Amino acid sequence: MLHNQKIVVVLPAYRAAKTVERTFRDLPMDVVDEILLVDDAGGDDTIEISRRLGIKTLRHRSNLGYGGNQKTCYFEALAAGADVVVMVHPDYQYDPRLVPAMAAMVASGVYDAVLGSRIGTARSGGMPLWKYVANRSLTAFENLFLGTKLTEFHTGYRAFSKRVLQTMPLLANSDDFVFDNQMIAQLVACKFRIGEISCPTKYFPEASSINFHRSTVYGIGVLQTSVQYRLWKLGLIKPDIFVDSPDFRIDSETGKARQLATVADV
């Protein structure tokens, strides 16, 4: 615990059999109270390895996508009584040893959400040049449209307070990769305090990475989300991702029904 708050780490997994144990071994268990892995019907040995390690493990009945996996992760983390939730990708692309620092930034009450920014080390860590250029360009566009000054919008290393996860309409978000981007736009819309921490990254064959086509689809989604936010701020549209409705909250009755329909093992 940190500041008497329960810290839960969630691992949204898809074919992470080669890296999940390495990720688990580097998690600082003197701070982490519980670990939860959700396997998005990857079909490899991730579930068996996760359970052998003693991790609470759930499995989707069918593949939902990266965003759909996070919805399950956050629902289960809240159900477990989490005060702070840290998402760590089990592909070992992000350093799990930063969990205490990120969790402390939230548990202290200084920030509501913390992002692990890769920008300072992205190229030295092996990020392809085209991904780096796209990352910087999209981030500049988003900062302009959302009125923020973040160094990176596209990191998958994140920490959130319980209040964030209980407040934002996460069920309205995409089940695909753009979920991450929609979530940051929602943080800004709800006026939550966002902190950043520099995070080294590693690109290697076993680490998951979306291809050029999927990256292009993601990029278009990012642009759409930014434009939606600006039009919503101007009062011209009212997209679901910015609607304050209990039905869109992750721990609502709708969220419970979704959980029962999608999770095979509890």
Inside any domain, residue 1: no
110: its two tokens: 């200084």
Q: Does the residue 171 lie in any domain? A: yes
In a domain, 185, yes or no: yes
Question: Per the domain annotation, does 122 fall within a domain?
Answer: yes
| 114 falls within a domain | yes
In a domain, 2, yes or no: no
State both tokens at 3: 């500041």
In a domain, 151, yes or no: yes
Residue 153 DSSP class? S
With b meaning 16 or more CB within 10 Å and e meaning fewer, what string describes 226-238? bebbbebeeeeee
Report mean pLDDT in 10-residue bins for the chain, 266 residues: 93 96 96 98 96 97 97 98 98 95 98 93 79 93 97 96 98 97 98 96 69 87 97 97 96 95 82
Ramachandran bin of 27, using left for φ above 0, alpha for ψ from -120 to 50, beta for the remaining angles: beta
CA distance 140 to 159: 22
Domain extent, residue 31, equals: 7-261
Query: What CATH number does the domain containing 200 carry?
Result: 3.90.550.10
Q: Cα 162 from chain centroid?
A: 14
Instruction: Report d(CA 117, CA 18) in Å as an integer.
Output: 24
Domain assignment present for residue 211? The answer is yes
pLDDT at residue number 50: 98
For residue 34, give the H/E element and its range: strand 34-39
If one counts the domains in the chain, the total is: 1
